[in-house]
Chain A
Amino acid sequence: MIPLALAASSDSEAPFVTRLAGSEGNGAGDSRCIASSSEESLWSGPHGLLRIEHPREAVSGDVVLVRPAEGRLDRLLRSGSRHNSLLVTEQCDQLCVMCSQPPKKTHDDRFDLLRDACLLADAGMTIGITGGEPTLHRERLLDMIEDVLAARPDLSFHVLTNAQHFRREDVFRLRRPEYVKVVWGVPLYSADPLTHDRIVGKIGAYERLIDGFAHLMLAGARIELRTVLTRTTVEGIVDLADMVARDLAHVEQWSLMGLENIGFARNRWSELHVDLRDGFEPVGHALDVATLRGVRARLFNVPLCHVPEPFRHAAVASISDWKQRFGEACSTCRARSACSGFFEWHPPALLEEVTPL
């Protein structure tokens, strides 16, 4: 795993954001490296001196959030990585059975710092926004997105949201040209309202979601639809595919995502997990419904050898570099570079359930 938090100390007392710009940095938020060894590096920037317990090479180009009081920094935007996400809140109004990041009651508003971080991002980067539920702080979120894109039209955002909080009057705002650079990742688990509500732990969530989709559609918003594959969702996946083809064919992609053994799913693994090696049929059927109707559907977080050959073109090597893991038998597999592998936290006992290709 690539470490995302590092021990660090600084002159400054308040948290701040800076870009670790190597030796040439001279932009407004840049820190320059003035010394580095195999164990630590020393940086100088607008907030004074910063000592990081990590060599320079490994962090150069990263945008970091330094929290001196806690003696650490977070690597918010790792240079050159395609998998950078900013957590904007840990509050959520849903309680999904498989939630990978269980919510908390309190909210620590870091939007100003996160906006500073985005402004320092590498050119052309796509920045993920996650939670919790980011749109619980809708005004702050939309302000941040608009500010950043006004100053940095080269950037893009991918925002994970349950789409419960868009309102009719947001349509005009979301039609602004900046939002061409924003994709909303929205989960939908079932075409049956009660089943969806049960999975997300909120009564009426399905109806609000359908309204949310209607508002987003009127805004011309770009949508990535997401469905985590659990025992329950796979049972209804063909009906869901029919619904997607009928009512949501405008989505840019429908992502069918393998379960992550983290958060709530950890204690419910045996109740939620579907072994696609012998339970793929409904998933394949759903993929074909989408293909038939011209909806781009893709499989995420599922190793290639768990997918029947005719459907492998839909499987994406999706698991982020810093949390990816393979079984030992995978070392002989010829398809490894095109494979998602497993999450770092996949049940160790299941890591060897692979068939090298």
Chain B
Amino acid sequence: MSGGVLHVDEAGKFFMADDGMQARLDADELDDGDVAFLTRTGHLRRPGLQTHAATFAAARRRCTAGPLDYLILVPTLRCNLACSYCQVSRADVGSRGHDWSEKTIDAVLAIVRGLDVRAVKIEFQGGEPTLRPDLIRRIMDAVPSDVDATFVVCTNLQEVGSEVLSIFDREDVQISTSLDGAAATHERQRTGAVDRTDLFLCNLDFLLDRYGPGKISALPTIDPASPPSASELIEAFSSRGLHSIYLRPINYQGFARKRHPHARDLNADWRSYHEEFVRTLIARNWADHTVVLEESYFSLLLRRIFRPGQDRHVDLRNPNPVGRDYVVIDHDGQVYPTDEARMLTRSGVIDLAIGDVERGWDTPERAALDAASTNDGDPHCEACAYKPFCGRDLVDDVARYGRVDLPRPETEFCRRHLHLFDLAFELIHSEDEAVLFSLRRWLGLAGDDVRLAVPR
């Protein structure tokens, strides 16, 4: 990198060696200052506490999945929209046979009643789950009383009836929706008609007004071929008090495989769009300190760089245990390791179900996926400075290339993350206060005294 050579250890501790230090490292001729620096930063260690601490820190970089505490439930596949890139083969709103059967409901309820954890997150997806508020209620009522549950309803907000509203009113409910940018963009990609767009925006603003922004998250889906301008997107979110924007490229799934074939290779355009977006946010945050906006995925990468154990984002962790701490239960009772695995199966590409609600999911299918769901031992990953922060997304590789054994640098996942980590480390080593201001806020720091870079 400009400014020197980045060194990262197994535990993710890093420092930047300038040319002089790098030459001394290469020649194995460290001076006293180097030794003091490497000791202070934990790269040279005394036996005892410091070696134990380093071992522990390296171990913490490895994700260990606990018991099931995150459920994605699809009570119905029916939906009242047909977005151009719908990630599943959704069903018409009036069709039959696309909701949980009574038998499936009983099995799902038994799973929920059997949850044996302190806290659980249950996310309702679809289709449009608010078409079946009765099923949402039954699940909510089945959570054991000593389990602290959070519910997320993922909805297109086309219709918010009184029954749905009474669910939203609960304190343990979060609302997640899609907002693709300004009204015209949202209409082109999702609603397809001005009256339906108005309905959505009207419902969104009504709910924001009713609860404040803390209860609602909105995600934009971006078509890399014609992304909205960063300022359009920022305005659409910040004007509503929504401060977290998670840039989500069209998934190469579902309808998108046919209607957006270019989505297979996100390519350099997407990467530079993402980077520009982050830089635009930095300038915007510096210009107006009172409100700090973030791109959630970039913030996640930053947190993973500095802190071990940030493994709750299940698409970016290593190893990435499959079907352990979270599963997706589809409308027909089939169980999938991720939502993307469900979509691939629905699209008829490959059956990635790992079981079903009746026979469970401790199956050979799960074991097969689990065995490959790691970066460990991959020669490219083992040689990569970013390995302690990065992850493994098998399903993404299967979706794009039909296989999981491509040389990693040839995958979109790898190219995208290499680029983002490069950007992150460039910004971490920036001396521009505007950059550091945003980085510190995105990392959850309260003050501006901490140095993020570790220069010699």
- A residues contacting B by CB (< 8 A) are 210-211, 213-214, 217-218, 238, 242, 246-250, 281, 284-285, 287-289, 291-294, 308, 310-311, 313-314
Contacts and interface: CB of A to CB of B under 8 A. Distances in A.
A288 B440 CA distance: 9
Interface string B26-70: 000000000000001110000011101100110000000000000
Interface of B: 40-42, 48-50, 52-53, 56-57, 306-310, 440, 443-447, 449-450, 452
Nearest to A309: B446
B446 A217 contact: no
A214 B49 contact: yes
B186 to A, nearest CB: 35
Contacts, number: 72
B49 A217 contact: yes
A214 B446 contact: no
A242 B450 CA distance: 11
Contact of A291 (B49, B50, B444): B444
Nearest to B52: A217
Given A288-B446, A294-B309, A217 B42 contact: no
Given A293-B306, A294-B308, A247 B53 contact: yes
Contacts of A214: 48-49, 52
Nearest to B307: A294
A293 B307 contact: yes
Contacts of B310: 294
B257 to A, nearest CB: 39
B445 A311 contact: no
A74 to B, nearest CB: 35
B308 A210 contact: no
A247 B307 contact: no
A287 B48 contact: no
A308 B310 CA distance: 28
A204 to B, nearest CB: 15
Given A214-B48, A250-B56, A287 B306 contact: no
B42 A246 contact: yes
Which of A211, A250, A308: most chain B Cβ within 10 A?
A250
Contacts of A242: 40
A200 B452 CA distance: 33
B308 A289 contact: no
Closest 10 CB pairs of A and B: A294-B307, A310-B446, A285-B449, A246-B42, A214-B49, A214-B48, A288-B445, A288-B450, A284-B447, A247-B53
B307 A284 contact: no
Given A281-B449, A292-B306, A217 B53 contact: yes
B41 A218 contact: no
Contact of B53 (A211, A238, A248): A248
12 contacts: A214-B49, A217-B49, A246-B53, A248-B53, A287-B446, A288-B450, A292-B450, A292-B452, A293-B306, A293-B307, A294-B308, A311-B446
B91 to A, nearest CB: 44
Nearest to A247: B53
B425 to A, nearest CB: 15
A249 B11 CA distance: 12
A338 to B, nearest CB: 17
Contacts of B53: 217, 246-250
A192 B310 CA distance: 31
Most buried by A among B56, B310, B449: B449
B49 A289 contact: no
Identify the interface centre among A285, A308, A314: most chain B CB within 10 Å of its CB: A285
Contacts of A287: 446-447
B303 to A, nearest CB: 8
B48 A211 contact: yes
A285 B306 contact: no
Contacts of A294: 306-310
A266 B77 CA distance: 70
Given A247-B42, A308-B446, 8 more contacts: A211-B49, A238-B449, A246-B42, A248-B49, A281-B449, A284-B446, A292-B443, A294-B307
Contacts of A211: 48-49
B268 to A, nearest CB: 32
A311 B447 CA distance: 8
Nearest to B447: A284
A306 to B, nearest CB: 15
Contacts of A284: 446-447, 449
Nearest to A294: B307
A287 B447 CA distance: 9
Which has the most chain A C-beta neighbours within 10 Å: B41, B48, B50, B452?
A: B48
Contacts of A289: 450
Contacts of A248: 49, 53
A212 B42 CA distance: 19
B301 to A, nearest CB: 15
A50 to B, nearest CB: 38
A291 B302 CA distance: 13
A292 B307 contact: yes
Nearest to A241: B450
A225 to B, nearest CB: 13
B10 to A, nearest CB: 15
Contacts of B42: 246-247
A158 B22 CA distance: 47
B371 to A, nearest CB: 29
A12 to B, nearest CB: 42
A247 B49 contact: yes
Nearest to B40: A242
A313 B446 CA distance: 10
A211 B48 CA distance: 7
A308 B56 CA distance: 34
A238 B450 CA distance: 9
Contacts of A250: 53, 56
